[in-house]
Amino acid sequence: MKDNQTKPLQAVLHGMDGRTYKTMVMYFQGPCKGVAVVVEDIDAEVDIIDTDFAAGQDALRKIQEKGIVRPVIVLSREDNKLENVIYVEKPIRLSNMLAAFEQAKTITEKKGLTKPSPLAHETPVASKDVVAANGDEANNAAAKKAREDSDERKKTAKHKTAMQLDESGFSSFIGIVPGIDFSDREQVLKASYSPKNYFQGYVLSAFKVSKEKNRMLQLNSTWKPLLIFPHSHEVWLDADDKQLRAFASLEMNKATGTKLTITAVDPATSGVGGKLDRFHDMDAFIWKLAIWTSKGRYPQAIDINRPVFIKHWPNFTRSLITPHALRITALLINGPRTMLNISEVLNVKPQYVFVFISAAYALGLVGQAERRADELFVPPPIEPVKKESKGLLSKILGKLRTSP
Amino acid sequence: MSQYKIIFTGPVGAGKTTAIESISDVPPIKTDATASDMTKTRKAATTVAMDYGIMNLAGGEKIHLYGTPGQERFDFMWDILTIGGIGLILLLDNTRADPFQDMKFFLESFSKFIEDTDVAIGVTQMDLSNKPTIEEYHIQLQGMGLKTPVFAVDARVKNDVSLLVQALLYSLDPGLEEDE
């Protein structure tokens, strides 16, 4: 029986198709009681190769050519009497597999090839300056990889269609920022916020680190852990939108900030295994997080007096759609404008422009030109379609937006 | 009365028939037949002429929704079909071998129509294949000098198709306001 205090053997699988790979991951976690875990090659202590697959034979040949430095377990129907490998006959029997693990572990310890535990360290995180976690999360990488194919369609949150907010429901859904009267122009000009003072800032920093390191990470706060999967551009959070909305609006003071850390993903505490519906597309997640942080304010980094540009249309079918978001995008696609100009031209409240810009800015979709010449850019006039067509198009819009 | 149309196009199996069905007020007229050539590897039945649906608008006006046959051998019909069209909805199947090639093919084939009107792109089957990503489609489009709306779309979901058409309409005129 596995001693809970014993670190699992870190194994890399070679030459297996997706289904076999997934089966092996589950086999190690289940019947093998976690004696071994599947990790990336670079973190592995042992190679496990299915030589009944051509790719497995190829992998074994390459390992032999390089020279065997760590234990190799070969899974096959036939014992080909290979030298310097641990053979496990297929169909695999649990006792044989565990014995092979034990043998491999002994060799690893003797040779001093033991790798550090992936969950050894925890690193504090600040929204401004994030330091990558030590260790690795590759065991989860393997588990994630194994899930990808068949489970992709069960990630309902990731693929669900957009929710479209109308003006009447906007404030109640988004929440109101106390102390800002959007009917007062002076207050409108100052209605900014700093994302780095909120959960949004920490999430963005953690995403950046995860992307740069190309490693899965877990952002730990006083709330629930957020798991970041850079390879598939996904996040996992065991919370519904209502809970996230509430947490997003909390300003993180310095004391709270010091409690935020990023670590390797811990499957034992994250609970990621059984809840595929908690996976979100990373962009859609950032988008709504920014909306709930903004609540109608604009990011402090944007100069309200300078035009903003948009790189391309957001993926609106998978994003929370704020009032007039499509119109604002269509206008900005034609050329840069200041946020207040957009508000004026489209005759929409400034907070609708601000909240959209906040979400698009969080994704890096909008920016401001740095050159002085661009600031002098005169926004192009809208070229409306013919009056006859306009009436027709408006009717189509009305139909699309009102029909159930 | 003028014939107002929105054209749905894209390769075989991209979801044109389903998309029209999602927003049509009447059961769409389908001209599907059992697939007999390479099409059958992707779907059992395919559109051999065109699909047709209707959106009934306030005031008794109608918008005709036409889906082009996906197979390229019917491309002689495309020019005729687009006459009087408001704009183009291009649906792309992300599980196909080279969705970018499909995109380029259809954008080039309808280039004149797009120049006169506009286009919005829906990428289907992203729950089965998440590559290429929407971002990668935008990169390709930017290389072609286009800033077209590109959304992940489930053609069975009315809201997805509706948003795609809305994006097309706002692309035509950002100042457009809803008329209920």
* DSSP state letters, A54-120: HHHHHHHHHHHHH---S-EEEEESS----TT-EEEESSPPHHHHHHHHHHHHHHHHHHT-PPPPTTS
Residue A247 domain flag = yes
Q: What is the DSSP code string of chain B?
A: ---EEEEEE-STTSSHHHHHHHH-SSPPB--EEE--SGGGGT-SEEESS-EEEEEE-GGG-EEEEEE--SSGGGTHHHHHHHTTEEEEEEEEETTSS-HHHHHHHHHHHTHHHHHHS-EEEEEE-TTT---S-HHHHHHHHHHTT----EEE--TT-HHHHHHHHHHHHHHH-TT-----
Suggest the residue from A166, A313, A348 to mutate for an interface test with chain B (most B CBs closer than 10 A).
A313
Per-residue pLDDT of chain A (404 residues; tens, 9 = 90+): 444 446 788 888 888 866 577 677 777 877 787 788 877 777 788 999 988 888 888 888 888 888 888 999 999 888 878 888 999 988 888 888 999 999 999 888 887 766 654 433 445 455 544 333 433 433 444 443 444 445 666 666 666 766 766 666 777 777 777 777 777 777 878 889 999 999 999 999 999 998 888 788 889 888 888 999 887 788 888 888 889 988 898 888 654 555 778 887 765 555 555 567 788 889 999 999 999 999 999 999 999 999 999 999 999 999 989 999 999 999 999 999 999 999 999 999 999 999 999 999 999 999 997 655 555 556 666 666 666 677 889 999 988 988 76
Nearest CB partner across the interface for B172, out of A152, A155, A385: A385
Query: How large a percentage of chain B has pLDDT more than 70?
Result: 81
Q: Average pLDDT of chain B?
A: 85
In a domain, B179, yes or no: no
Q: Note down the domain range covering B108.
A: 4-172
Residue at which a domain ends, from A241, A272, A293: A293
> Phi and psi for A74 in degrees, rounded to 5?
-105, 130
**A65 in any annotated domain:** yes
**pLDDT reported for residue A1:** 41
The confidence score (pLDDT) of residue A120 equals 34
Non-local (6+) Cβ contacts of A2 within 8 A are A8, A33, A34, A35
CA distance B106 to chain A (A): 20
User: By the 8 A CB rule, do B87 and B119 touch?
Assistant: yes
Residues A56 and A133 placed together within one structural domain of the fold: no
A141 and A211 together in one domain? yes
pLDDT of residue A375: 53
Q: Are residues A133 and A208 in the same domain?
A: yes
Q: Are residues A23 and A138 in the same domain?
A: no
Higher pLDDT, residue A162 or B10? B10
Whether residues A95 and A134 share a domain: the answer is: no
pLDDT tier at B2, thresholds 50, 70, 90: low
Q: Are residues A103 and A127 in the same domain?
A: no
- Per the structure, the complete domain to which residue A273 belongs is given by 123-149+193-293
Closest Cα of chain A to B125: distance in Å? Answer: 10
Helix A282-294, helix A350-362: angle, nearest 10: 140
Pairing of strands B85-93, B119-124: parallel
In this structure, the answer to whether residues A107 and A136 fall within a common structural domain is: no
Q: Select the residue from B151, B153, B161 to test the A interface by mutation, using most A Cβ atoms within 10 A.
A: B151
Give the closest-approach CA distance of B78 to chain A in angstroms: 23
Q: Could you tell me the CATH number of the domain that includes residue A16? A: 3.40.50.2300
User: For the residues B143-169, what does the mean pLDDT come to?
Assistant: 95
In a domain, B180, yes or no: no
Per the structure, the count of domains in chain B is: 1
pLDDT value for B121? 98
Give the tokens for residue B132.
Answer: 């290429």
Q: Which residues of A touch B (CB under 8 A)?
A: 152-153, 155, 159, 161-162, 164, 232-233, 311-313, 315-318, 321, 326-327, 329-331, 333-334, 345-346, 382-385, 389-402
Q: What is the DSSP string of A257-298?
A: HTT-EEE---HHHH--TT-GGGEEEHHHHHHHHHHHHHTT-E
User: What is the domain count for chain A?
Assistant: 2
Domain-located, residue B48 = yes
Residue of chain A with shortest Cα separation from B163: A317
Q: Does the distance separating the beta carbons of A331 and B151 come in below 8 Å?
A: no
How many pairs of residues across A and B have Cβ atoms under 8 Å apart? 139
Exposure string of A225-264, with b = 16+ CB inside 10 Å and e = fewer, is bbbbbbebbbbbbeeeeeebbebbbeebeeeebeebbbbb
Whether residues A127 and A106 share a domain: the answer is no
My answer on whether A137 and A31 are in the same domain is no
Give the residue on A whose Cα is nearest the Cα of B152. Answer: A317
From the CA of B67, how many Å to the nearest CA of chain A?
A: 18
AA letter at B17? T
Give yes or no: residues A83 and A211 share one domain.
Answer: no
- Which of A240-254, A299-313, B37-51, B74-88 shows the lowest per-residue confidence on average (mean pLDDT)? B37-51
pLDDT score at A206:
93
By three-state DSSP, how is residue A10 classified? strand
Residue A228 lies in a domain: yes
Q: Find, in chain B, the residue whose alpha carbon is nearest to that of A149.
A: B128
Q: Which residues of B touch A345 (CB under 8 A)?
A: 175
C-beta atoms of B159 and A317 within 8 A: yes
Residues in chain A closer than 8 A to B55 (CB atoms): 396, 399
On whether residue A394 sits in a domain, the answer given is no
CA distance B76 to chain A (A): 28
Residue B161 has pLDDT above 60, yes or no: yes
Instruction: Please give the pLDDT value at position A144.
Output: 38
Cα–Cα nearest to B86, from B4, B177, B161, B176: B4
Do A133 and A217 reside in the same domain of the chain?
A: yes
Asked if B163 and A162 come within 8 Å (Cβ–Cβ), the reply is yes
Residue B89: pLDDT band with limits 50, 70, 90: very high
The residue in chain A having the minimum alpha-carbon distance to the alpha carbon of residue B127 is A153
Confidence at residue A402, expressed as pLDDT on a 0 to 100 scale: 81
Q: Does the residue A334 lie in any domain? A: no
pLDDT value at residue A2: 41
Question: CATH number of the domain that B59 lies in?
Answer: 3.40.50.300
Q: Are residues A128 and A105 in the same domain?
A: no
Most confident residue range from A105-114, A231-240, B20-29, B160-169: B160-169
Q: Does A38 reside within a domain?
A: yes
Q: Is residue A377 part of a domain?
A: no
What's residue A146's pLDDT? Answer: 40
Please tell me which residue, A266 or B86, carries the higher pLDDT value. Answer: B86
Min CA distance, A220 vs chain B (Å)? 28
